[in-house]
Amino acid sequence: MYNKIKKTIIFIIMALGISSCACSSKYQRQNAADILPRKAFVHLEKSLIVKSCNGTQCISMNFRSSASGFIVNLHSDGAFIITAAHFCKDSSPSIENTTVTSRYKAKRLDGTAFEAVSLHYQEDIDVCLVYAEGMTEDVSIVRIASRGPRPGEKIYNIGAPQSIVGPNMVPILEGRFNGELEHNAFYTLPAAPGSSGSMIVNEQGELIGLLHSVFMRFHVLSLSTKYEDLKEYIDKYLCKYLLYKSVMQDLELSDIFTAKN
């Protein structure tokens, strides 16, 4: 009789333990839709104004391009955004009496546009830091992962290939991390012009890469800045410009964070 009661008690304890684990697992499981940092996405537009003068006559041409970006820090009066360096870089004109001027606009997910400025870019890893004045509400930041991706790991990309984006709509693509080769990280991930600068995040919605290139004849294989390089760049230059902004505000001086018209 005693053994029978003992077995019954053990059975009940085991059943409760199994039930508890299952219940806990159910509540811990999160949906990707609740994790992915959609509101950290920014659609960037650039106007490149080329002006050439000959005596009293001047000719101006306006070239436009677009890219994707993501917010890595919010200040009291604006947002720090990361995108691709090749979007920020301006080629120096080789023609005499010719000037090139760039103007940027940054649109948050709901389509609201803000004036923006390029602060710094690094070509060898294709990363650029941009500041959008006034972009402080209805946005979020993407947090950097504590480690890089592992080969085979599932990832997500939030960007605007071919500028396919609209108010509260941005493409979300799934892929896999393949590994690294030379200076790039490789992902099985479709992309197109306009995807440049877009965030690559892990299943926890944490930043692990920045898409900057795609094989034109094989659009499902994309290249990204390496996780370590991207993290180092953000840590270094975000700290630098936050400090600069703080000092300029304390001294009540104008700074480089306001777009010049």
Tally of structural domains, the chain? 1
Is 255 inside a domain boundary? Answer: no
Q: Is the pLDDT of residue 2 over 70?
A: no
What CATH number is associated with residue 157?
A: 2.40.10.120
pLDDT in the model for residue 261: 60
Is 260 inside a domain boundary? Answer: no
Contact between 116 and 81 (Cβ < 8 Å): yes
- Cα distances from 247 to residues 38, 55, 63, 103, 241, in angstroms, run 32, 43, 35, 25, 10
Hey, how many other C-beta atoms are within 10 angstroms of the C-beta on 144? 15
Mean pLDDT of the residues in the chain? 86
The CA distance from 56 to 71, in Å, is: 44
Q: pLDDT confidence of 100, banded at 50, 70, 90?
A: confident
Contact between 110 and 167 (Cβ < 8 Å): yes
Q: pLDDT confidence of 251, banded at 50, 70, 90?
A: confident
Q: Is the pLDDT of residue 22 over 60?
A: no
The CA distance from 152 to 192, in Å, is: 22
Is 193 inside a domain boundary? Answer: yes
Low-confidence winner among 41-50, 119-128, 139-148 (lowest mean pLDDT) = 41-50
Is 27 inside a domain boundary? Answer: no
Is 82 inside a domain boundary? Answer: yes
Is 201 inside a domain boundary? Answer: yes
| 103/95: higher pLDDT | 103
Low-confidence winner among 86-90, 121-125, 198-202 (lowest mean pLDDT) = 86-90
Task: Calculate mean pLDDT across residues 105-112.
Answer: 98
Domain containing 94 equals 40-229
Q: Is the pLDDT of residue 61 over 80?
A: no
Is 28 inside a domain boundary? Answer: no
Q: Amino acid identity, residue 140?
A: S
Q: Which residues of 39-67 are buried (b: 16+ CB within 10 A; e: fewer)?
A: bbbbbbbbeeebeeeeeeeeeeeeeebbb
pLDDT in the model for residue 16: 39
Question: Could you give the 3-state DSSP secondary structure of residue 150?
Answer: coil
Is 128 inside a domain boundary? Answer: yes
pLDDT in the model for residue 21: 36
| 90/22: higher pLDDT | 90
Low-confidence winner among 51-60, 65-74, 155-164 (lowest mean pLDDT) = 51-60
